[in-house]
Structure 1
């Protein structure tokens, strides 16, 4: 059977869309077996070109624990994912409800090669902290605004891949005083530490799963390759709890004022892009800052929506979903962000599996099942209720799956972004899940292999044109 490469396609809603794709079962199963033995830690290829910084992105499985087989690996991922989604819903519910401390959770961001077991990200980058730079793996998280790292002296720290950051060995470390405007405007500040003239701004970031970091707010130099970024506000964590396996801390790239993107200010022009490579591949993805990272043509741009209750998250307008090149009948208000901050659709790098409100999910899933009656079914697995037994198949033809964004653009996903292997024996599942919450989340499985660009200055998110 001829195998065609499956890539994302983006088009206007007025155009016809492909109805089917080829899923290369044999090739995908091969990667699930080889990735278990591929735990080499790669150094980040960091570079700067003009006002553009580029970092390699690694999936957390490069750093975290080994698993006996692919089934156990998937189980661990889905357990993390359930906690992550619960955390996001808890944050938004608390903020929208106007309760006390509505925005304490994760106000310093992190992402790329994920080190946090309990819902804090799936991807890591490698950067230098301090002067001279001490290399650290940091979780990149588009759903966070705080930059923080575990610090010596450490009263309570989890295990990480690199030696703990020691401020005493950094010539550029400067604790933020209580009188500083940085302390005054930091959402995570929780008062002062110390006495007399040595009173420093304390911080605390709590996560919905019970993990947290707290310590001293500081200004420090971060290094991306040969580029030094001075006076970045970071949390120096002396007490840290949670299963943050591997990573030294968090690199927040959310939409809030304390995120790395916001702190870079004019240097990055409020712009960054990332490309998440497919699970199991040995090559890294990329994270780039600066307006030069934005595509100049061929990308499709969608307006970003702002939730004033929780400015961290990147919301997009979604008008519907498609199966087999046809839009499924789902009322558009299901995906609407309300004036009170409820509902809406968030793009999140830390969530793996896309979540949809139950009514939308059921209609969407049933449409997919109706067009896959030729494929043998398998038992449900964890949060996946629609699975197939593709053992013995080289490749299969499957209906396309598409996101219909408000305003017309349609993103048709590669087949491997919605039918994923959950074991080594040929069981593939439909990689979406229902949620009783009104919040929809576009997860990183659906984002893989697509260049995604954020232009915060102009309030836009772009898809393509490059693939990775």
Structure 2
């Protein structure tokens, strides 16, 4: 995983047979992985060649009646009736295309039959090093349970040093995202308990900023002012 010139991280993944290099945003806020594919109706500029599913021996377009397609639920694009699994999701940034199965290769390891979006119409503020977006929980989302490796493909980053602790991740019913429960904030040696303000915070590596509830933010600002001991500047944007 490498940092992009912006504030996001890119994963180097090889897709297809033969494997073709992809550099995909690692995004914990997305439930479906996708890459730009030929033919392009509307694609953002990328440095690497756009993936051609017809040149891959392992590419398999899913039909709209197949289980993985049904799991897309409201992300299915029902405006098209061509028999294949069309998807559409996103707001100002979006991707539209077909769901297909492919082979992922990372180093010496390959995972077959990975459900992946093949984006033919993609709009957003994507850097030219990027070729798509990858859900960053695991290589294969547990939504697409037909893959036998789906529950054993979690991504680990580096080695855990001695004394490392972890926190439990939470999932809400009918929600693909993961959450943590914020109980306190530590500034220096000062522990600021959230008390009744404890809340579930969605983990999203694709978001530029972290967001707090208004009351928790006010507590944080108050604690920082006391610790810094200086009057804050009143900065205006002209």
Distance 2:144 2:64 in 1: 20
Sort the Cα spacing of 1:179 and 1:351 in 2 relative to 1 into closer, same or farther, 3 A: closer
Q: Is 2:63 the counterpart of 1:177?
A: yes
- Match of residue 298 from structure 1: 163
Correspondence for 1:221 among 71, 83, 103:
103
Q: Is 2:201 the counterpart of 1:257?
A: no
| 1:142 Cα deviation after fit | 1.2
* Superposition map of 1:146-157 within 5 A: 146-157=32-43
Give the match's secondary structure for 1:354. coil
Deviations 1:275-312 (Å, cap 9, x if unpaired)?
Answer: xxxxxxxxxxx6xxxxxx7x496331322222225232
Please identify runs of 4+ aligned residues in structure 1 that moved more than 4 A. 192-195, 375-382
* Superposition map of 1:338-417 within 5 A: 344-373=200-229, 378=233, 380=235
Q: Is 2:201 the counterpart of 1:318?
A: no
Give the match's secondary structure for 1:371. helix
Distance 2:143 2:175 in 1: 13
Distance 1:259 1:145 in 2: 10
| 1:331 Cα deviation after fit | 4.6
Structure with greater helix percent? 1
- Match of residue 60 from structure 1: 4
Distance 1:334 1:378 in 2: 28
- Match of residue 234 from structure 1: 116
**Aligned residue pair count:** 232
Correspondence for 2:18 among 132, 136, 148:
132
Distance 1:170 1:365 in 2: 53
Distance 1:263 1:296 in 2: 31
What is the aligned-residue RMSD (CA, Å)?
Answer: 2.9
Sort the Cα spacing of 1:353 and 1:227 in 2 relative to 1 into closer, same or farther, 3 A: same
Q: Is 2:76 the counterpart of 1:211?
A: no
The answer to whether the 8 Å contact 1:335/1:345 transfers is no
| 1:353 Cα deviation after fit | 3.1
| 1:164 Cα deviation after fit | 0.6
Distance 1:351 1:193 in 2: 31
| 1:186 Cα deviation after fit | 2.8
Can you give the 5+ residue segments of structure 2 that lack an aligned partner in the other structure? Answer: none
The answer to whether the 8 Å contact 2:9/2:25 transfers is yes
Distance 2:209 2:236 in 1: 13
Sort the Cα spacing of 1:347 and 1:184 in 2 relative to 1 into closer, same or farther, 3 A: closer
The answer to whether the 8 Å contact 1:178/1:192 transfers is no
| 1:125 Cα deviation after fit | 1.0
